[in-house]
Every structure is written in structure tokens, then in C-alpha cells.
Amino acid sequence: MKVSWKTLLLWSLPIIVVSFFLWQGFLAPTTNELNTNVASSRMTYGRFLEYLDMGWVKRVDMYDNGHTAIVEAVGPELGNRIQKIRVELPASAPELINKLKKANVDIDAHPTKNTNAIWNLVGNLFFPLILIGGLALLFRRSNNATGGPGQAMSFGKSKALFQMEAKTGVVFDDVAGVDEAKEEFEEVVTFLKQPECFTAVGAKIPKGVLLVGPPGTGKTLLAKAIAGEANVPFFSISGSEFVEMFVGVGASRVRDLFKKAKENAPCIVFIDEIDAVGRQRGTGIGGGNDEREQTLNQLLTEMDGFEGNTGIIVIAATNRADILDSALLRPGRFDRQVSVDVPDFKGRLAILEVHARNKKMDPDVALSTIARRTPGFSGADLANLLNEAAILTARRRKQAVTLNEIDASIDRVVAGMEGTPLIDSKSKRLIAYHEIGHAIVGTLLQDHDPVQKVTLVPRGQARGLTWFTPSDDQTLISRAQILSRIMGALGGRAAEEVVFGNAEVTTGASNDLQQVTSMARQMVTRFGMSTIGPLSLESEESSPFLGRGMASGSEYSDEIAIKIDKQIQEIVSKCHDNALKIIEDNRVVIDRLVDLLIEKETIDGQEFREIISEYTPVPDKKQYTIW
């Protein structure tokens, strides 16, 4: 028995509470009637007699051995409606009954005391019985789950937590932008469709395929597409559903799942979020978890258990293959790994084409424009984007989705809901200068992404926003690009300083500064872009389960640490100087742009560049370089 008393107590508490309510609700009707049936109003005995004299009393119900009465009365004082009023009667009022009789009032007595006693007795017996019954049930359940032979699966089975789809209806054409993964899976489909081809030459069919990739990149969709293409049933369960409060439940679910799968072979078994159970065992980080280990062991056993040709192929998905238990990745288990990544431009275009199929798009909408504007979007983001745009189109009562709705949806997906613009005030001017600062520094620097638009319409947390059109290839970024991004990010604060003075700068730049610091730090510690030299001093996310820096410990000496800090500071301060210089050099056009922005709320990139080019060439070949 592995259920601790603590858990039991925790569980029995709601049962106690529930049974008490049961008792209150169903077992004691009479007291209940008295308590709830009664109007909230009360009156004194004297008042009651007055009512009686006036002939307003219609009916009296006595409770509690004649100590309490519910009086039904009607009269002008009561709004001429029949009202129920509660009256406490004095202990001895024998003349009352006569009086009531004379006044021709309906009387009824409810012998509550006696029934109460009986019900109390029953209740007193029942209450502990329910409690004991509940506890016994709990014990039995947990016993079952730990796997006594014969009754082992009844609990896991009764809660069928895995889903089975006989036909997924998804085909490879529904999945786009992940061509390598698709190729790999076409082979799997052949395994399922024509196993003879492989077994004839003695080839063993793989049992497991691990899909690795960030959320929303189409892992579930791919797995479904395999089942759909091969025309086999699709069993799915999420790793987190294996992990339960009672030790052994997860393991019994695994057994149950595979039993069902074997009955339906050939089929696909899909385990989502396998990292929830498949994490490296025995590291002790985050506390040992008996339940998880048992579940994982059961999973490994099941995968070993079925011979290569039963026609079950297990597909598991995770976004972190590096934390999985190595036993899972051994040959004979998930020996194939297929990675799906956030799509590139071509991939995004293909995915957009898939999702635009069933939507009415305006002929002017070029999907490539959308694909260009959405670097970093996953397949799910893109699907969501087109759907938002379609919803917006319907709301605007238009016939087809235009670029207008798509733009609005992209902004919304990226930066959150649109707020109402600020009224004209000093802080609005300051925000305008801040945003124009970002935009002009970004525009004049040669290596910066071009401005797409500047806006004072708040969105999400931001009170103003400058949008840039990112270049296609975001995977390789040069030193000059990073530096110009740092300068661009500092442009907002720099404009505040130049225009409003040092004392007036605001907290609005805090997010910019975070980004600046992080970029500068990475230049020094990861990309070897400082005078310390080409050293990698920190790895990306060394351990997601420990706090940052805790796991990495000291990969470098204190001496280097001081140098790192100095370098970061130097990079940022030089970039800041440059940003200030750009603002000072272009003060005239900045003032003009700010006035325009306050008037129009939004300036788009093209217009922005045209205005600046009346004053300075864009980009400015003066080259605000550092080093």
C-alpha cells in the first residue's frame, strides 16, 4: 500500500464534507422545511395577535411542539400578498388555539420533535457509515492500482483516458512545411500498409518514433496524418495523464492502452508530452517520483513486449529530447528521432496555403507577404492567425479576407489586444518621442531591419509600438546586426533624454533595457563578439529545472566574470552614445515626425522613410559604428 496517510486524509476531507451535506439535504427534511421554507421575515407574538384581530391571518403551521409558528397572512401592510412570517410563540398560550379557531384560521401542527429524534438517530448512524464506506473505497482503488493480479486494470480502464480515433481524416497534404519529417514518415506508412515487404527480407519494423519540436509545429498533426494515410486507428494519450496521485495508476493505464492497441493492430499509439513520464530517472532533481518511474518502466516493458511485427507503431512527441531517459532512446524503443522545427519562409508559405484552402481570401492577398511578416510563427500560430482574420472579416461583414484584417490579426497575435489611444498629454508626447526614437535609429542604421510602422495605439502591455520587418533569415545574425539592434532598442530612451532631459526619463524603457542587456551579454558570453575573444562562456539553457546560473556554476574564473561585466557595460554605453548622437543629429525631423504621429496615431514605414529622406539619406552612410 503506497498511499500515504496524508493523501488519504486529504481525500477523505471532501467526503466528510459531502456526506455532511447529504445528511443536511436529504435526511432531515422537517427541520429543513422549518429553516428554509420560511420567509426571512419574522414578527413578534404581540404583532401576530394584532394581525389575528384584524383578520389578516389565513393559516398557521405549528412546529417545534408549538414553540414556533409559520403564519400565512395577507393585508395592506403586507402589500396585499400572502406572506409567510415566522413567529415565536410563548410556552403557554392555551387560549391561542381557541382564538385561532374562532377566527376561522387553518391550523396545522407538525410534530417535528419526534421525527427529528428518529432522523437524528439514523443520521448519526449514517454519517460514519458513509465516511467509512468512502475510505474503504479509496483503499480498494489504490490497492487495485498497484496491480494485484486479476483486478489490476479495473481502475485504469474505467477511466478511459486515452482517445481512440478509428479514422483521423488527416492526410499528409494537411501538413506543410515539414518535408524531411514527412519523408521519414512516408516510410512508416509503408511499414503499416505492407509489412510483408520488410519482413520478407528479414527487416525489423521500427517500434517507436520520437517527434521532437517546439509546441505548435504540427507534431500531433503529423502523427494523425500517418494514421490517416495508412488507414489505421489512432490511439492517443498525453504523458501528463499518466502521472496521477496514486502510485501505479499510470502504469496500469499504460498496460491498458497497449492491450487495447494490440486488439486493434495495426495501429498508431501516440504519446504526447512524453517528457512528463520519460524524464531521466533517478536524478533526484525535483524530488524522486515513484509514480513516474513506475509508469516509465511499464512503458519500456510494453515496448519490449510486443515483437517487431505486431503492427503497432508508437509515436511520441516532446519538445525536449535532451531530458529524456536514455533507456527510452535505445534501439528497439524510440530509436528513430524526427525533428520538426518552426517553419522558415517557404514552410510558412506552404502552411498558409493549407489553411487558406477553406477560407475566402481576397484575390489581392499575397500569402507570401504574410509569410514574410511572420518569422518565428509556428504552424499553429499561422493557423490561428488566418482564423482570427476570418473572424474579423465576418465581424466587419465583408465578403473575403483582405490584407487589412490579416495585418490586424498579426498585430494582435504578436502584441496582444488593441487598447484605446491615450488622450493628448505630456506623457503621450513622451511616448511619441520614445517610439520615433526607436524608429529613426533603426532607419538610419544600415544593418537594422526596416521600420514597418510606428504607432501610438496601445497593445497588450505596450503603450506605443514600433514594428520592424524582420529579414528572412533569422538564423545567422552578424555582429553589426546585433549592435544596430542594441542601438535601436536604446533609441527610445535616448530620445527621452535628449528631448525631455535626464530628470524626466521614464520607466517606459525598462523592457528595452532588458533586451539590450541580454543581447550584449550574449555577444560576450556566447557569440565571442567582444575583446575577451571567441570563447563560449555560457551555454543556452543549461538546465531548465534549476534556476538560471545555478546549474552552470562557475564555468569561468572570477577574473573573467569581471571582464564580462566590463565588456557588457562598454558595448551598451557605446551603443547608447551612438543612439544619442543619431537623435541629436536629426532633431528637426524627429520633431516633425512626432507631431505627425500624434496627429495620425500611426505612420507606416514607407511614409516614415520618405519624410526622413528629405533631410538625410536613408540609411545614413555616416555609419555610426563602434570599434
Binding site for ligand ADP (CB under 6 A): 175-178, 213, 215-221, 317, 351, 354, 379-380, 383
Binding-site partner at residue 492 among Mg ion, Zn ion, ligand ADP, none, CB < 5 to 8 Å by type: Zn ion
Give first-to-last CA distance, the chain, whole Å. 69
Is residue 215 a known part of a binding site?
A: yes
* Exposed / middle / buried, residue 322 (Cβ in 10 Å: 0-12, 13-18, 19+): exposed
Give the distance from CA 552 to its chain's centroid: 29
Establish whether 512 is an annotated binding residue: yes
Burial 475-491 (b: 16+ CB within 10 A, else e): eeeeeebbbbbbbbbbb
Q: How far is the CB of 220 from Mg ion (least distance, A)?
A: 3
Between 143 and 339, CB nearer to Mg ion: 339
Count of CB atoms within 10 A of residue 48's CB? 23
Cell of 155: 481502475
Torsion of CA 254, 259, 261, 264, to 10 degrees: -170
Per the structure block, which three cell numbers stand in for 209?
518514433
Q: Indicate which of Mg ion, Zn ion, ligand ADP, none lies near residue 351 (CB less than 5 to 8 Å, by partner kind).
A: ligand ADP
Shortest gap between Cβ of 169 and ligand ADP (angstroms)? 12
Active site residue 180: no
Question: 124 vs 163, which CB is nearer to Mg ion?
Answer: 163
Q: Annotated catalytic residue: which of 302, 435, 496, 538?
A: 435
Q: What b/e readout covers 419-454, taking b as 16+ CB neighbours within 10 angstroms? A: eebbeeeeebbbbbbbbbbbbbbbbbbebbbbbbbb
Q: Which residues bind Mg ion (CB under 5 A)?
A: 220
Give the nearer residue to Mg ion in terms of CB position, either 311 or 343. 343
Site string for Zn ion, 211-250 (x = CB under 5 A): ----------------------------------------
Looking at beta carbons only, is 411 or 512 nearer to Zn ion? 512
Q: Residue 178 CB, nearest distance to Mg ion (Å)? A: 13
82-91 exposure pattern, b = at least 16 Cβ within 10 A, e = fewer: ebebbbebee
Give 278 or 492: the residue with its C-beta nearer to Zn ion: 492
Cβ–Cβ under 8 Å, residues 540 and 548 = no
Q: Find which of ligand ADP, Zn ion, Mg ion, none residue 512 binds, CB within 5 to 8 Å per kind.
A: Zn ion
**464 annotated to bind ligand:** no
- Residue 178 interface partner, choices Zn ion, Mg ion, ligand ADP, none, CB cut-off 5-8 Å depending on type: ligand ADP
Strands (E), 74-157: 83-88, 106-109
Selection from ligand ADP, Mg ion, Zn ion, none that 216 binds (CB < 5 to 8 A by kind) is: ligand ADP
Q: Which residues contact 88 (CB under 8 A, 6 or more apart)?
A: 42, 45, 67, 68
Bridge partner list, 107:
60
Nearer to ligand ADP, 176 or 232 (CB): 176
Alpha carbons 269 and 571: distance in angstroms, whole number: 52
Helices (DSSP H) in 264-402: which residue ranges? 275-278, 290-305, 326-329, 345-356, 367-373, 379-395
CA nearest neighbour of 467 among 378, 371, 380, 373:
373
CB of 381 to ligand ADP, least distance (A): 8
- CB nearer to ligand ADP: pick between 37 and 368: 368
Residue 169 in marked binding region: no
Q: Are 145 and 156 in contact (CB under 8 A)?
A: yes
Quote the least distance from Cβ 490 to Zn ion, whole Å: 9
Q: Is 325 in the site for Zn ion (CB under 5 A)?
A: no
Q: In angstroms, give the least distance from the CB of 497 to Zn ion.
A: 13
Hey, what's the torsion of the CAs at 361, 364, 368, 373, to 10 degrees? -90
- 266 in a known ligand binding site: no
Question: Has 533 been labeled as part of a binding site?
Answer: no
89/67 Cα distance (integer angstroms): 5
Q: Order of strands across the sheet with 68-73? A: 42-43, 83-88, 68-73, 57-63, 106-109
Instruction: Report whether 220 belongs to an annotated binding site.
Output: yes
The span of 165-173, 239-247, 405-413, 486-494 binding Zn ion (CB under 5 A) equals 486-494
Does 67 show up as a binding residue in the annotation?
Answer: no
**Smallest separation (angstroms) from ligand ADP to the CB of 268:** 14
Residue 451 bridge partners (DSSP):
468
Residue 217 or 466 having the CB closest to ligand ADP: 217
Residue 16: name its binding partner from Zn ion, ligand ADP, Mg ion, none (Cβ under 5 to 8 Å by kind). none
Residue 497 lies near Zn ion (rule: CB under 5 A): no
Can you tell me which of 302, 325, 381, 512 binds Zn ion, judged by CB under 5 A?
512
Min. distance of Cβ 508 from Zn ion in angstroms?
Answer: 6
Q: Residue holding cell 472579416?
A: 393
Piece of 173-181, 473-481, 505-513, 550-558 that binds Zn ion (CB under 5 A): 505-513
625 labeled part of a ligand binding site: no
355 annotated binding-site participant: no
Q: What is the DSSP letter of 44?
A: -
Residue in the block written with cell 536613408 = 618
Is residue 492 part of the contact set for Zn ion (CB under 5 A)?
A: yes
Binding residue positions for ATP: 213-220
Residues lying near Zn ion in the complex (CB under 5 A): 492, 512
Binding residue positions for Zn(2+): 434, 438, 512
Which residues have a catalytic role annotated?
435
